[in-house]
């Protein structure tokens, strides 16, 4: 039981790291597109949400693929933790915490992306 929880924790950590690596790569691609094309900066919030959704989904797929059970739950954990880490980083470096409908919406998008990724990951195997 203890080994199972430990391995699950390791896979959660690996899934989160994978999600943030994917997000970093996608942010770099979007930055290049913003610099060298006529893509408008007004699109950044939408692109940010897309990047977050894609990276959480991929992390959820990885997590469910490795753990091999309860994909929706494991993916949801990845989505929720990803969101909480983003909030923490935001508090440290960017601005004060503002609890509003936009924040709640982002949380549910993160959770849904993780659940969908986890479901996909279980069904891939």
Q: What is the pLDDT of residues 21-50, one digit of tens each?
A: 999 999 999 999 999 989 888 888 899 999
Average pLDDT, the chain: 90
Tell me what pLDDT residue 77 has: 93
Tell me what pLDDT residue 1 has: 63
Position 98 pLDDT exceeds 90: no
Range of the domain at 55: 2-124
pTM score of the predicted model:
0.90
Tell me what pLDDT residue 27 has: 96
Contact status, residue 54 vs residue 11, Cβ threshold 8 Å: no
Contact status, residue 106 vs residue 83, Cβ threshold 8 Å: yes
How many CA atoms within 13 Å lie on the side-chain side of 68?
4
DSSP letter assigned to residue 69: S
Q: How many domains does the chain have?
A: 1
């Amino acid at each position: 039981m203890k080994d199972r929880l430990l391995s699950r924790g390791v896979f959660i950590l690996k899934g989160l790291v994978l999600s943030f690596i994917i997000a970093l790569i996608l942010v770099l691609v979007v930055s290049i597109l913003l610099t060298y094309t006529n893509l408008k900066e007004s699109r950044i919030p939408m692109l940010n949400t897309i990047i977050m959704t894609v990276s959480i989904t991929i992390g959820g797929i990885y997590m469910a693929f490795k753990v091999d059970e309860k994909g929706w739950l494991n993916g949801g954990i990845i989505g929720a933790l990803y969101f909480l880490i983003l909030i923490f980083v935001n508090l440290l470096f960017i601005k004060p915490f503002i609890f509003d409908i936009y924040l709640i919406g982002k949380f549910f998008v993160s959770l849904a992306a993780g659940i969908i990724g986890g479901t996909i990951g279980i069904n891939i195997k």
